[in-house]
Amino acid sequence: MSTRRTIVMVVMDGWGIGKKDDSNPIYIANPKNIDYIKRHFPAGALQASSIAVGLPWNEEGNSEVGHLTLGAGRVIYQHFPRISLAIKNGSFFENKVLMEAIKVAKAKGKNVNFVGILTEGNVHAAMDHVNGLIRLAQEAKLLRVNFHFFTDGKDGPPKNALALLDKVRAEAAKIGYDGVHIGSIGGRYYGMDRDQHWNRTERAYMAITGQNDTNIRMGTNDSPQVDAGGAENLNIERFKDLKIDPKEIIEASYKQGLTDEFVEPKTADPEGTVKDGDSVIFFNYREDSMRQLVEMFLNPSAVSQAISPLKDLHMASFTEYSKKFGIPVAFPPENVLNPLGSVLSENGKVQLRIAETNKYAHVTYFFNGFVEQPFPNEYRVLIPSQNVARYDEFPEMMAKDITARAIEAVSENAYDFILINYANTDIVAHTGNFNATLKAVATVDEQIGKLMDEVLRADGVMLITSDHGNAERLRDPVTGLPETKHDSSAVPVYVIANELKKEKDNFEVETSEHEVAGILSDVAPTILELMGIPQPAEMTGVSLMKLLR
């Protein structure tokens, strides 16, 4: 009989510790299984934002940074502060990759294009970096530079794009640079899709390259909340002019009930579209949501026969979206030595990772320290996400399927370590729909209960935590309006095993949830202690086993 003791690590994505009030869906939902766990097993709170995960002070955590830190067992300073520091110390304006892209465009008499999200959320990109690019263009004496913006509405207020466009123009005016042009604009739903919805990516690409039939195409099958019959209300004829103020494009989408996330991709300035011979710099620093768009630029005909490939483009990116792309990277990733997955593999442990499409990269690429390929004896299960425009339509997501596969894996007794991610409380909370988030919380809680029963039956160990806060605050306490962005809250951590079970009083429960026991980088050392594996020197986190109440 096998003596293997399976450890199951569960990431409840976006599940933070919030106030006990009506702004908190987790509190209102009163998840009974999590409450049972709090009262019977070791528990604590972990810092999951700001400097604790390598982000600037007062910066909310996110899924990428969270999973990277959970797996690395150390704090890794993230792309955002690295790039911001480069701008501050001036090295950004001497970056060889950025300067080469500009040099190539100048030599050919072509344009430089900057492509990325317009946001103050700092999850995918940053306004400070946009400002840095404006200054870079000015210092390079470019007569014009074309921005192609994706409007946010997910990691920031639902309707903030107009104000952010004003800030871009104000920054250019402040430094006396009149070369900024907006070539195209559209919601991140299209340009930053990561779920293989190539029709969305294609629409963003067509707007960026000026290949769309008209500057506005309403009522397509993949336009959420759009009423094709109301197109005449938008006075489409005026959008056929050669150049449009991007604000008009945004306002037109607003009139159709769309938020920034879903703004229809349009060409705003035909002279500012990406053309043969241009240089294109993708300035998002988060990797996964730019891969489809970059792949379409690299090999458009493989994705859609309707696309005319562009010739002689010089492309570069702020960060490395994928090694296979082979394009220059201005800020290459740090080499993360000995992440948890590697250490387990070197010690002969068999691993399984399970997630749906939305979070698959997080339990693999990010958790493994930016390593795409599985480590030896690491197996992966991808549960395809549902193809829905908004996840408040389906708050259950694929949680039941994930649990079923995890329970099967535990019963097989073939794995030493199983990592799963429940995406519900992050993805659904991003919609701002309070009632749907209540259902998401209830779904995750139900699945946690089922999985816990199987783990305890098999005499395994279950470690539950989160990667960042989100679902614990869905209403602004001042305005009462929906909040769709992440929060800087601490996140819970629980360790469940038969021998750890004990009854706790109310004081112990309250104390364990509100006293910070550690940070996300302490989770990997905790897993290693539970397995009896020595912690490598590169891991600076500490085991939580003596710190949890």
Domains of the chain in sequence order: 9-77+335-531 (3.40.720.10), 80-325 (3.40.1450.10)
- Report the distance separating Cα 52 and Cα 522, nearest Å: 11
3-state secondary structure 68-96: HHHHHCCCCCCHHHHHHHHHHHCHHHHCH
User: Residue 516's beta-bridge partner residues?
Assistant: 45
Condensed to tens digits (0 to 9), the pLDDT of residues 336-393 reads 999 999 999 999 999 999 999 999 999 999 999 999 999 999 999 999 999 998 999 9
Q: State the binding site for Mn(2+).
A: 13, 63, 426, 430, 467-468, 486
How many Å separate Cα 463 from the centre of its chain? 23
Q: State the binding site for substrate.
A: 124, 188, 194, 359
Q: Which residue has the tokens 């026969």?
A: 305
Condensed to tens digits (0 to 9), the pLDDT of residues 474-503 reads 998 788 889 999 999 999 999 999 999 999
Band of pLDDT at residue 472, cut at 50, 70 and 90 = very high
Contact by Cβ (8 Å): 429, 437: yes
Which DSSP string corresponds to 453-506? Answer: HHHHHTT-EEEEE-SSB-TT--B-TTT--B--S-B---EEEEEE-GGG-----H
In angstroms, how far apart are the furthest CA atoms of the chain?
75
- Report the distance separating Cα 541 and Cα 535, nearest Å: 9
Contact by Cβ (8 Å): 342, 379: no
Condensed to tens digits (0 to 9), the pLDDT of residues 77-104 reads 889 989 998 999 999 999 999 999 999 9
Helix (H) or strand (E) holding 408: helix 399-412
**Helices of type H across 347-398:** 357-361
Question: Looking at per-residue confidence, does 492 or 309 come out higher?
Answer: 492
Contact by Cβ (8 Å): 75, 324: no
User: Residue 148's beta-bridge partner residues?
Assistant: 115, 184
Q: What is the CA radius of gyration of the chain?
A: 24
Q: State the binding site.
A: 13, 63, 124, 188, 194, 359, 426, 430, 467-468, 486
- Report the distance separating Cα 453 and Cα 458, nearest Å: 9
- Report the distance separating Cα 266 and Cα 212, nearest Å: 8
Contact by Cβ (8 Å): 426, 11: no
Q: Which positions ≥6 away from 364 have C-beta within 8 Å?
A: 353, 355, 372, 374, 380
- Report the distance separating Cα 281 and Cα 266, nearest Å: 19
Q: Could you give phi then psi for residue 102, rounded to 5 degrees?
A: -70, -45
Q: Other C-beta atoms within 10 Å of 106: how many?
A: 16
Contact by Cβ (8 Å): 330, 98: yes
Q: 158 pLDDT exceeds 60?
A: yes
Condensed to tens digits (0 to 9), the pLDDT of residues 411-457 reads 999 999 999 999 999 999 999 999 999 999 999 999 999 999 999 99
Report the catalytic residues: 63
* Cα dist from 262 to 59, 228, 314, 445, whole Å: 25, 15, 29, 30
The first and second tokens of residue 257, run together, are 């009930």
Q: Which positions ≥6 away from 238 have C-beta within 8 Å?
A: none
Contact by Cβ (8 Å): 419, 352: yes
